[in-house]
Structure 1
Amino acid sequence: MRKAKPKKRQILPDPVYGDVRVTKFVNHLMYDGKKNTAYEIFYSALENVKAKLPNEEKSALEIWKAALDNITPQVEVKSRRVGGATFQVPTEIRPDRKESVSMKNLILYSRKRGGKTMSEKLCAEIVDAYNNQGGAYKRKEDMHRMAEANRAFAYFRF
């Protein structure tokens, strides 16, 4: 490569929980640079999660983290052109990309969901992901199924 790799930016932990993952999630959730609004949406969603699952011994943040772990894919397929044919090659995902993909899927399927406010939709999607169901979990299962179906082309790996 001609250019140097860009440096990774240092992300500050969020003000309430002091967690860097929360800040990354809020950055994905944010529209038009409105970070305070995104924080309000996220924190109210976690309050709703705690209200929906009162008999859980875990905190709302731990439930959110478990939900993210449940929808984190391990493998994905990438298109690779070999001799005029395009193959879907299964590849393992880097840890930072795993985290990013799972957050983006959770937010995407929250936005698609029916509901009144974004915090309610996000809350419902977090609860579903925690219980191994919902759109984001289905997306992860589909990614794994695609990789399994194309396992024969794994030797084309980059």
Structure 2
Amino acid sequence: MRGKRAKRRSLKLDRKYSNPIIARFISKVMQDGKKSLAEDLVYAAIEKGSKIAKEEDVVSFVNKAIDNVRPALEIKARRVGGANYQVPMPVSPRRQETLAVRWVVEASRKKSGKSFDEILCDQLVDAYKGEGDAVRKKEDTEKMAEANKAFAHFRW
């Protein structure tokens, strides 16, 4: 028998901008519990990125960058009669945000040659413009969902 369903915790806000998406970024960038270091990196990246993108408001810069990476559909494996099907599923807004933040940070971690805040800044600016690795990941995910539309009736 399964245990109780976990309660959804309230969204924490970051210290500087009181924005839940930026708080998610900080948590995703953080390694080994070093939150203050993660905050410094994220704040440096988003402030530099908003200047490069010529966006006055840092929060709207981050929101637009994340909106360009949010996937509408994803695929999940379903086992039906001994066969695994890739079934396209709509993505909830909270999961869209989670995936977008994850993809931007993962794309930043794959790159090297510069400091992490510069790489994260480049990824955010690319996402803001609708290009880059994170946006490509979103497009690939949605393309896979579109290709497997025939199995959408297995959704439950």
- Common fold by TM > 0.5: yes
- Output the amino acid matched with 2:12: L
Q: Which residue does the alignment assign to 2:18?
A: 18
Deviation per CA, 1:71-126: give whole Å up to 9, x if none. Answer: 00011011111112111100011221111111000000011123311100000000
Contact 2:22–2:62 (Cα < 8 Å) also in 1: no
For the pair 1:113 / 2:97, whether they are aligned, the reply is: no
Deviation per CA, 1:17-39: give whole Å up to 9, x if none. Answer: 11122112211111001100000
Q: Which residue does the alignment assign to 1:150?
A: 148
Show structure 2 runs of 5+ residues with no match.
none
Q: Name which of structure 1's ranges 2-11 and 134-143 shifts more when overlaid on structure 2.
A: 2-11
Q: Name which of structure 1's ranges 119-128 and 18-27 shifts more when overlaid on structure 2.
A: 18-27
- Output the amino acid matched with 1:29: V
Give the alignment's Cα RMSD to 1 decimal: 1.4
Change over 3 Å in CA distance of 1:42–1:131 after alignment to 2: same
Using the alignment, how far apart are the partners of 1:143 and 1:12 within structure 2? 28
Q: CA deviation at 1:146?
A: 0.3
**Identical amino acids, percent of aligned pairs:** 40
Greater than 3 Å deviation, 4+ residue runs: none
Q: Which residue does the alignment assign to 1:37?
A: 37
Using the alignment, how far apart are the partners of 1:57 and 1:3 within structure 2? 47
Using the alignment, how far apart are the partners of 1:50 and 1:93 within structure 2? 28
Using the alignment, how far apart are the partners of 2:3 and 2:135 within structure 1? 37
Contact 2:73–2:88 (Cα < 8 Å) also in 1: yes
Alignment of 1:8-157 (within 5 A): 8-53=8-53, 56-157=54-155
- Output the amino acid matched with 2:10: Q
Q: Structure 1 length as normaliser, TM-score?
A: 0.92
Q: CA deviation at 1:4?
A: 1.5
- Output the amino acid matched with 1:100: T
Q: CA deviation at 1:57?
A: 4.5
Q: Structure 2 length as normaliser, TM-score?
A: 0.93
